[in-house]
């Protein structure tokens, strides 16, 4: 599963680079494979591009093992999938477990790619570009904050007790392009800058609230009060890593099931190493998974307006 060693042909006392071209690889692809150390001999020895070689040639290649996941919305340029919780958006190392690329490359070929990322435990809508050109344009929309994203989050306690600031559109002129979709928005705002935290190892990607960091703005609308929890609709106007998770944690209402925030380092490591039982995780975090779901994507692309919403809730 994931990256595997695949036999691609023979070299006949020739430079590896030339052999790859003879076997049908483009000059750019052949050089890229050699530079990344993905061409090997039968003894798993890495071959360099100008090395003279005779014998079998092998390539480290990603082998797709799809499970039949189909898009919920599709055009000629992109597709939208409902990513299940627990599935990575990208391959994760050479021995990568099943991830969204098993489906994406199986359906659309190797030029297809995700236009944005969802954390492994976050479920919901994932936008996939089918070609290099559409990928460039769609990724630019996310980078330029021209995609309105909405999420559902189930958080600890009664969020009304957090004393959140009421949202006022006039205070956020720089986000006008997004706020036109929220002209009647009646909710709250968390406006706290963020930066990468100081921890290492499993927690090296943990973020922290930092006034000197990058600005991060999340709008919140309370949908429903449940027993000891609140269902919240979240709009991240900026796209910082772990933004919704950290913002809700910072006001004392962490997302249920969060394996990174609101926990001690030892517990974080046990969860991420799959050494904590489901029952203990529920006891410590309130759920067996991160209760965050990508609910909606609203954007304009190539002259068309799209409003795509998930039919699921977690």
Which two tokens mark 51?
């090395």
Please compute, for residue 279, the number of CA atoms within 13 A of its CA located in the half-sphere on the CB side.
0
**Which residues are designated catalytic?**
119
Please state, in angstroms and as integers, the Cα–Cα distance from residue 170 to each residue in 173, 175, 182, 228, following that order.
6, 10, 12, 34
Range list of β-strands (E), the chain: 2-15, 39-40, 52-63, 73-74, 78-83, 113-114, 123-129, 148-156, 165-166, 188-191, 194-196, 207-209, 217-226, 229-236, 292-301, 304-309
CB count within 10 Å of CB 70 equals 11
Distance of CA 56 to the CA centre of its chain: 37
Residues 6+ apart with CB under 8 A from 192: 209, 216, 247, 250
């Amino acid at each position: 599963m994931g990256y595997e060693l695949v036999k691609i042909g023979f070299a006949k006392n020739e430079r590896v680079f030339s052999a790859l071209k003879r076997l049908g690889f483009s000059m750019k692809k052949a050089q890229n494979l050699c530079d990344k150390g993905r061409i090997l001999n039968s003894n798993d020895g890495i071959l360099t591009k100008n090395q003279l070689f005779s014998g079998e040639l092998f390539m480290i290649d990603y082998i797709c093992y799809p499970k039949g996941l189909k898009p919920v919305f599709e055009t000629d340029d992109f597709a939208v999938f409902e990513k299940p919780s627990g599935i990575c958006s990208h391959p994760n190392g050479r021995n990568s477990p099943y991830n969204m690329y098993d489906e994406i490359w199986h359906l659309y070929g190797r030029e297809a790619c995700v236009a944005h990322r969802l954390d492994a435990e976050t479920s919901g809508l994932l936008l996939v570009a089918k070609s290099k050109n559409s990928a460039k344009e769609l990724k630019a929309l996310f980078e330029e904050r021209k995609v309105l994203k909405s999420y559902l989050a189930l958080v600890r306690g009664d969020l009304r007790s957090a004393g959140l600031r009421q949202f006022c559109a006039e205070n956020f002129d720089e986000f006008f392009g997004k706020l036109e979709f929220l002209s009647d928005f009646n909710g709250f705002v968390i406006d706290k800058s963020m930066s990468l935290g100081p921890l290492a190892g499993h927690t090296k990607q943990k973020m922290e609230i930092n006034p000197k960091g990058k600005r991060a703005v999340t709008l919140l609308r309370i949908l429903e009060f449940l027993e000891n929890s609140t269902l919240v609709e979240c709009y991240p106007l900026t796209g910082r890593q772990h933004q919704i998770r950290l913002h809700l944690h910072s006001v004392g209402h962490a997302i249920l099931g969060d394996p990174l925030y609101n926990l001690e380092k030892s517990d974080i490591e046990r969860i991420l190493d799959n050494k904590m039982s489901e029952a203990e995780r529920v006891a410590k975090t309130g759920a067996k998974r991160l209760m965050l779901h990508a609910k909606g994507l609203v954007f304009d692309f190539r002259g068309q307006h799209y409003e795509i919403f998930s039919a699921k809730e977690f």
